[in-house]
Amino acid sequence: MVIVGAGVIGMSAAVALQKRGLSVTVLDRKGVAAETSRGNAGALTFCNSEPHNSLSVIRKVPGWFLDPIGPFAIPIRYALQASPWLIRFLSASRPSRVAETSRAQVALMEFCRDVLPAFSKMAGTHNLLHQDGGLEIYDTEKEFNAALGVWEKRQAHGFSFEPVRGAKSISDYQPGLNPRFERAIYTMSWQSVSDPLDYVETLGETFRSRGGGIEIVGVEALAGRPTGCDITLSDGRTLSANHVVVCAGAWSHTLARTLGDRIPLEAERGYNTTLPPSALNLNRAILFASHAFFVSRLTSGIRIGGAVELGGLDLPPNYARANALLTKAKSFFPGLKTEGGKQWMGYRPALPDSLPVIGKSPNAPSLIYAFGHGHFGLTQSSGTAELVTALILDDTPAIDLSPFRADRF
């Protein structure tokens, strides 16, 4: 069988399927963790199950649009192209639809949380996992109180939290913050990895050491057969496989289209800067919730990034967004050393209802889709791998996959 995509979803699925005795080949145009999976914040946030198009978020969008380097932006030259996705995004913000999406996301997140310990031991990544907790910082009393309501709901699913009030109390969790911050939430529910690149490369090493093959080649098209799939490669070859799993991130919908499956995926471009480890004495991951960006501690350094830009796959990067985040971080951490940073942009694969596609192609039963995880690719990778394995082996998946079907749009 063949997996298309060597990011965190693809390599997790490869290791899980290999463990069940299947012969697996992974195809990727650039190699293991060569795209978006290498540059995320490294956080495993199983508690975050609220759709991004909830009414509380929708109300903020008009103000964000007025700030070209704010938390959510669309370049003018891409606005028309993004409009069909935005219409679906707004349509999915109906309270009844958000409630359905939340239930599905909670089920997926809890499953991913529960399978991670066994998966990480099997995959050889357990030494890269850490449970340092996380700190959410809020600018206003209103935002803080709204967050308390969200966390009370999360607590019912086993995610604990502690409200933190006062600059001195916050500094006990993280020294060096600007004393203007007086409201925060601390949680031990957040986990992290040492570095997302190391994590995915370790999956690749495990897969190779057990006989798996990884080929660097592009995939141009897919065609379903009664008992399998044909794969047209960028070098002119055609491969045949009894099963194919598409985990190509923000490029997945272009492959789905060759099968006649039209899935409204958009690339949420995210920016970050990774500073040297000595740039800041950071105790744990910090989310500045009012500004939608993370500061996280990795073995490769201090990573500052986040926010969303709907800009597709072809527009050049706008690193003014990374610079803006770094400037904010400096004002929030006056002692932050901003020299020597490396900028990066990645393409988060996002669907309008905030849920991934996990399931069989309507037009090719031997082909499985596993993409569109948005901000949660790392968080949901181990659980998605187990669900894909169940589908390939015709086992009953551990959760209801109907909310994640490819034809739900």
User: What is the mean predicted confidence (pLDDT) over 326-333?
Assistant: 96
pLDDT at 102: 93
Residue 278 lies in a domain: no
92-116 pLDDT, tens digit per residue, is 888 888 899 999 999 999 999 999 9
| Total domains in the fold of the chain | 1
Most confident of 121-125, 310-314, 319-323: 121-125
Residue 25 lies in a domain: yes
Residue 389 lies in a domain: yes
User: pLDDT class for 53, splitting at 50, 70, 90?
Assistant: low
10-32 pLDDT, tens digit per residue, is 999 999 999 999 999 999 999 99
Residue 109 lies in a domain: yes
242-264 pLDDT, tens digit per residue, is 999 999 999 999 999 999 999 99
337-380 pLDDT, tens digit per residue, is 999 999 999 999 999 999 999 999 999 999 999 999 999 999 99
Which residues does 403 contact at the CB level (< 8 Å), separation at least 6? 100, 101, 103, 104, 355
Distance CA 374, CA 249 (A): 9
Residue 167 lies in a domain: no
pLDDT at 57: 62
Predicted TM-score of the model (pTM) = 0.95
Give the residue among 130, 222, 145, 136 at the shortest CA–CA distance from 185: 136
CATH number of the domain bearing residue 255: 3.50.50.60
Residue 275 lies in a domain: no
Residue 6 lies in a domain: yes
Residue 177 lies in a domain: no
170-209 pLDDT, tens digit per residue, is 999 999 999 999 999 999 999 999 999 999 999 999 999 9
Domain that holds residue 34: 1-53+92-130+192-265+351-409
Residue 60 predicted with pLDDT over 70: no
Listed in order, strand segments (DSSP E) in 101-242 are 129-130, 134-138, 162-165, 183-187, 191-193, 213-216, 219-225, 228-233, 238-241
